Amino acid sequence: MTPHQHPQSARLAARILGAIITLIGAVLGVGGVWLAALGGSPYYVVTGIAMVASGVLLWRGSAWGAWLYMGIFVATVIWAFAEVGVDGWALVPRVVAPLVLLIAVLLVIPTLTDAAHRWRWSIGAGLGVLVVAALFAGFVAKDRRTEAAGGLPPLARAATDLALMTAGADWPAYGGSYSARRFSPLGQITPANVGQLHRAWLTHTGDLPSPRAEGTYGAENTPLKVGDTLYVCTPKNIVIALDPATGRERWRFDPRVPDEAIPYTAACRGVGYYAVPDAPADSPCATRIIFGTLDARLFAIDARSGARCGGFGTNGEVDTKIGMGDTPPGYVSINSPPTIVRGVVVTGHQVLDGQDRWEPSGVIRGFDAVTGKLRWAWDMMHPDWDGYPPDGQTWARGTPNMWTIASGDEALGLVYLPMGNAAADYWSGKRRPPENFYATSLVALDVTTGKPRWRFQAVHKDVWDYDFGAQATLVDYKGTPALVLPSKQGDIYVLDRATGEPLTPVGAIKAPQGGVEPAERSPTQPVSLWHTLRQPPLTERDMWGMSPIDQMICRIQFRQASYKGFFTPPTADRRSVEYPGYNGGTDWGGIAIDPRRGVIVANYNDMPNYVRLIPREKAREMGLAPRNQARGKIGGVEGAGDPQANTPYAIDVNAGWRLPFTGLLCKQPPYGGIRAIDMATGKTIWDRPFGEARTNGPFGIPSMLPVTIGTPNNGGAVVTASGLIFIAASTDNLIRAIDLATGKELWSDVLPAGGQATPMTYSVGGKQYLVIYAGGHHFMETPVGDEVIAYALP
């Protein structure tokens, strides 16, 4: 076949294609020059110039343009494999769009030549390319599960859970018990029969967002089951009692939380259950549900009727804002269940992030579970205060808070507080010594006195929003009462829960310096040397997109940003890359542990944030002001234009580092995974990307591809004695059963809304049920719903 000039009328298709290739080449060429000037890959500028030449030749009707493009494609494939090897998802932006253009080029070749059988040759070549493309698609879709030799540890005698109430027929606490193992000894549903699971019942809570609250809902709820009742809490703290066998509603209690109280997210992760010692079983409030609300009230209601417990506080409620001073709506909210140890209700609260250095206090309180009276308060700036502040004073403003869930040890009388950061996450210049000491730490408090017993800090002078989001999980570790502590950074620590001393190796790495306050940065940061979920530092090769163009843009952004690896300080003169981002690693979903087999199950996120500090004058020009000053719309994405008043800088966080025009993340997949870890050795048993691409795609259009990509995920897992993991959490709206031994998915069901919550399991009348609150989540961009769904075997 020889190049040939055809008449103008026969070259329309070639002209159109030539124009497209020329335009793409020009974009790649110009962007490639920019990228190369920043020290990036020269591929784009070279390819762009070659594509412009190919496109011009095609426009002119020359078959040399087709031959040149085929050469470009071959060179692109060689370059792509040289950069990323056989990583299917990494190859997608490098070869898929060029492959589509190659097929188009092959189809227009017959209009550029008089060779015999030219159409047959062209169509045959095009079909051959399609076959190769299909094989490539199968390669991308291949399960990337990795396994270690040896498999699961041998089954051992279960370590006793010393909590007063433990999981079994019931699920009496958010984490199964206050040990937070998320393990059930039930075994009726097994790997052999889990494929038969079906919906036993579905009920609607009726709590859906009002027009004002659109874009704020994310239920995050794990129900409790005690005796013959299932207890559900909705995003706006409506507590509903259900028949656990049928889903029929028995009663509901609505605290009537106003929309203006919603912080970033309307969520109620759970409630607490308490049986009053020695109370007659039939007396009012002998058993009670204790829970906090988004407007920072603490309630106690009768577990049998839903009626207020009149002897608790004032008519069954306590205003936890007392002693805090000025608390604008939405600034102080309780969205996690309390932890009740030795009759003391221990609660923290969320303080609306990013508004003001002097936001309300992060004080931790302990209330009497019967009377609601304040037993103690821990204000780290006033350690000598035992109760409410003296007249005319308030608890210290801006201190680190505990927005997530504590765990508790009844025998030791300790509660374990995963602490957040001081107010103004991304600037540390005004922090006081106690704040620097306790921030981003696990703090063990004596539940009787409210005084700290010990603390373990994971980040020094945190300016990355790396607060502890997960409960610590209480276990026996080689004969020592211990706890397993996961972090947003991906590190997993094992500590002696009586002393806080590490039982597994902890090291220190040299931390990057610089940023806007270099004198404040710690020269080193702690890391776990036992196990981490964290991946290696990012490189330009890790940038992604749906095509070479948006991948090139992400490469340019990477080269423009400040990135010195893990713990890169935020900057004001340009963006910085925070990896991993503030969603983890491990966030509020925590981990699950099978104590009989000694296996940790950890689902995790693997995404960066793209961060920039905004000087105060610029922030004023942008209209960034605290929520109570510039009310605007409630909710939003944490860090996306937060004012950080009373500091020199506001903050803009591009969570996940997404391109605004496609919505795709700049880092290549996977964005989330799930892993099984041998607790005795800290070694990985298996690890796999977690979540399908079915609901994700460019421009917010679902791809509907049932292909594992590894999606962002929020919510945790439950492990059962039969060797099953039940988990939703991912953005594909599926709930799954996974084989604990292999990581293989054994069953799934499509939920009517997002499953960003931790499921739970219980039994009634000898039948085991699995329950999930499918409430969706605005931050995870999954559909919002109000369905509580139970599954069981036929």
Residue pair 294/354 in contact (Cβ under 8 Å)? The answer is no
Q: CA separation (Å) from 415 to 162, 362, 442?
A: 14, 16, 10
What residue has token string 């996977």?
670
In which region does residue 646 sit, left (phi positive, over 0), alpha (psi from -120 to 50) or beta (all else)?
A: left
Among 273, 371, 365, CA closest to 317: 371
- CA 728 to CA 759: how far, in whole Å? 7
Asked if 442 and 494 touch (Cβ cutoff 8 Å), the reply is: no
Measured CA to CA, the distance from residue 617 to residue 583 in angstroms comes to 29
C-alpha–C-alpha distance, residues 615 and 654, integer Å: 17
Helix (H) or strand (E) holding 122: helix 118-141
Distance CA 59, CA 166 (A): 74
Name the token pair of 672: 């989330």
Tokens 């407007």, located at residue: 295
| Distance from chain centroid for Cα 389 | 36
Helix axes 12-37, 64-84, angle to 10 degrees: 40
3-state secondary structure of 74: helix
| Separation between Cα atoms, residue 711 and residue 733, nearest integer Å | 11
- 118-123 contacts: CB < 8 A, separation 24 or more? 118/1, 121/1
**Cis omega (within 30 of 0) on the bond before 580?**
yes
Non-local (6+) Cβ contacts of 124 within 8 A are none
How far apart are alpha carbons 583 and 570 in whole angstroms? 17
| Sign of the four-CA dihedral 492, 725, 347, 777 | positive
**Residue that is written with structure tokens 């590490």 in the block:** 502
CB atoms < 10 A from the CB of 446, how many?
Answer: 16
How far, in Å, CA of 718 to CA of 161, rounded? 16
Asked if 1 contacts 122 with a C-beta cutoff of 8 angstroms, the reply is no
> Catalytic one among 465, 491, 594, 749?
465
Q: How far, rounded to the nearest angstrom, does the alpha carbon of residue 627 sit from its chain's CA centroid?
A: 24
**What CA–CA distance (Å, rounded) separates 394 from 389?**
6
Which of 223, 265, 336 is closest to 718 using CA atoms?
223
| Cβ density class 115-126: b for 16+ within 10 Å, e for less | beebeebbeebb
- For the chain, count helices (H), then strands (E): 8, 42
How far is 308 from 231, CA to CA, in rounded Å?
A: 15
Q: How many angstroms separate the CA atoms of 574 and 183, rounded?
A: 46
Active site residue 465: yes
Backbone angles phi, psi at 148, to 5 degrees: -100, 155
Burial category of 280 from C-beta neighbours within 10 Å (exposed 0-12, middle 13-18, buried 19 and up):
exposed
* 204: CB partners within 8 A, 6+ apart: 786, 787, 788
Which residues form the catalytic set? 465
